[in-house]
């Protein structure tokens, strides 16, 4: 009995709600990836084991699966914590902001960097719960400063918006190059 207790206390650790769900997901992903090893990598005949293209993915996935199993074991042996599903709800809620980011990335080549950044800064600030004119003002100013810094001064490679093509000649060139 004392040995079981020792084993438990050795694996027990500080954790947060949702840890066991994460542990299960990682283990399932690791096992799935490992099951694909033969179809997703090749073995070159005549080559040494360590030089095989299959060696490093195989080794890393075998170790990842082993560690994931031990992590899950540790999580299962630790005390159950309240708030597991609330925590997972929060993880899922974060996907909304990931989608905001992707939509922003889709919009830039069409609507242009400056207008998209300005619009997204205002919309996101509103989504984040700010309603004051001050917050909206600073969001707009920050968006313009970001565009000026990266696109105008540092000339970071970002696509010019298709919408700029409809602008008059002189302005179009400036917008295409700097905003």
Partner 1 sequence: MENLLAGAEMLARVDVMIALLVGSVGGVIIGAIPGVGPAVAIAILLPATFSLEPIVGLTMLLGIYGSSMYGGAIPAILINTPGTAVNALTSYDGYPMTKAGQARRALSLAYSASFFGGIFGILCLILLSPVLAIIAPMFGSREIFLAALLGIILVVLAHRGQIFAAGMLAMFGIFLNTVGLDAVTYTQRYTFGLSFLSSGINLIVVVLGLFALSQAFFLLTNPDSSPDAKPVSGSLTAGFKELMQHKRVAGVASSLGVIMGMIPGVGEFTAQFMSYTYAQKSSANPDAFGKGAPDGLIASEAANNAVPAAAMIPLLALGIPGEALTAMMLSVFYVHNVIPGPQLFQNNIDLVYGLYLALILLNVVVICFLMVSTNLLTKIIRVPTRFLGVMILILSFVGVYSLRNSLTDCMLAAGFGVLGLILKRLNLPIVPIILGMVLGGIMEVKLRSALPRLKTPLDMIDRPIAMIIFAMILMVLALHLRTLIKEIRAHQTDDDHDLHDTQMR
Q: Contacts with partner 1 in 137-166 (CB under 8 A)?
A: 138-139, 142-143, 146, 150, 154-159
CA neighbours closer than 13 Å in the CB half-sphere of residue 87: 12
Q: Are 15 and 75 in contact (CB under 8 A)?
A: yes
Q: Which is nearer to partner 1, 53 or 171 (CB)?
A: 53
Residue range at the interface with partner 1 (CB under 8 A); choices 33-41, 78-86, 167-175:
33-41
Per CB under 8 A, the list member of 35, 40, 173, 177 interacting with partner 1 is 40
50 is a contact residue toward partner 1 (CB under 8 A) = yes
**Least distance between partner 1 and beta carbon 170 (Å):** 26
In the set 79, 80, 98, 133, which binds partner 1 (CB under 8 A)? 98
Residue 17 and residue 87: Cα distance in Å, rounded?
A: 7
In whole angstroms, the minimum distance from the beta carbon of 171 to partner 1 comes to 23
* 9 near partner 1 (CB under 8 A): yes
H helix runs in 128-168, sequence order: 133-147
User: Least CB distance from residue 73 to partner 1, whole Å?
Assistant: 8
For 10, the token pair is 């050795």
Q: Which residues contact 116 (CB under 8 A, 6 or more apart)?
A: 104, 107, 108, 161
The pair phi, psi for residue 128, each rounded to 5°, is -75, -5
Contact 157, 139 (CB under 8 A): no
Whole-number minimum distance, CB 134 to partner 1, in Å? 11
- Exactly one of 28, 38, 106, 171 binds partner 1 (CB under 8 A); that residue is 106
Nearest-CA neighbor of 68 among 26, 9, 35, 123? 26
43 or 174: CB nearest partner 1: 43
């Amino acid at each position: 009995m004392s040995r079981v207790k020792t084993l438990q206390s050795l694996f027990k650790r500080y954790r947060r709600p949702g840890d066991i769900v994460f542990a299960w997901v990682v283990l399932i992903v690791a096992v799935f990836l490992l099951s694909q090893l033969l179809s997703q990598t090749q073995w070159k005949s005549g080559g040494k084991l360590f030089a095989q293209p299959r060696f490093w993915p195989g080794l890393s996935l075998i170790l990842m699966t082993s560690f994931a199993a031990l992590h899950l074991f540790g999580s299962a042996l630790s005390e159950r914590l309240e708030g597991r599903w609330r925590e997972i709800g929060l993880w899922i809620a974060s996907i909304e902001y990931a989608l905001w980011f992707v939509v922003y990335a889709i919009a830039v080549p069409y609507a242009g960097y400056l207008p998209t950044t300005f619009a997204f800064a205002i919309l996101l600030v509103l989504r984040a719960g700010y309603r004051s004119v001050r917050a909206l003002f600073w969001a707009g100013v920050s968006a313009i400063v970001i565009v000026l810094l990266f696109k105008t001064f540092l000339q970071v490679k970002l696509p010019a918006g298709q919408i700029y093509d409809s602008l008059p000649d002189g302005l179009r060139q400036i917008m295409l190059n700097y905003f």
